[in-house]
Amino acid sequence: MITGGGKVLIGSGCRFGFKLGGFHHSGSIEMQARTSNSHIVIGNNIATNNNIFICASDYIEIGDDSLIGQNVTIMDFEAHGIAPDQRRLVGEIGQVIIGKNVWIGNNVTILKNSMIGDNSIVATGAVVSGVFPANVIIGGVPAKIIKHIEE
């Protein structure tokens, strides 16, 4: 499902959801470009499992040939303000850039101002916030580099 007032651009050869991946019939895949200025750019040959939520207030990009596991959330903003009197307002807005050929495991959350380099892997259950280079495995809460991938 594509919702919101912005633009969602999807490249060629993409596959969303997997009927053997769990929750296929009761789950959802939602891409929400919230405002008229919001953009979600999905590269070519992206494959996802089920129950994916990608929500942009500004800009989210996922590079070609990336894989996204089940129960993944990607957001480029804080859903609510931090100050008590701003809790009903949108919080800080950033961007998310995911490189090419990135493998995102199950149950991952990727937060605003995150960049993940090409060929990297995000381990199951990670909460990603920050900038990570190409060719690394990241994981944990908060995510950190676990290992460099040899080319």
**Which residues are annotated as catalytic?**
80
Show the tokens assigned to 119.
């060929």
Each as own residue / partner, the long-range contacts of residues 15-19 (CB below 8 Å, 24 or more positions apart, any chain) are 15/46, 15/47, 15/48, 16/48, 16/52, 17/48, 17/49, 17/50, 18/47, 18/48, 18/49, 18/50
Reported residue count of the chain is 151
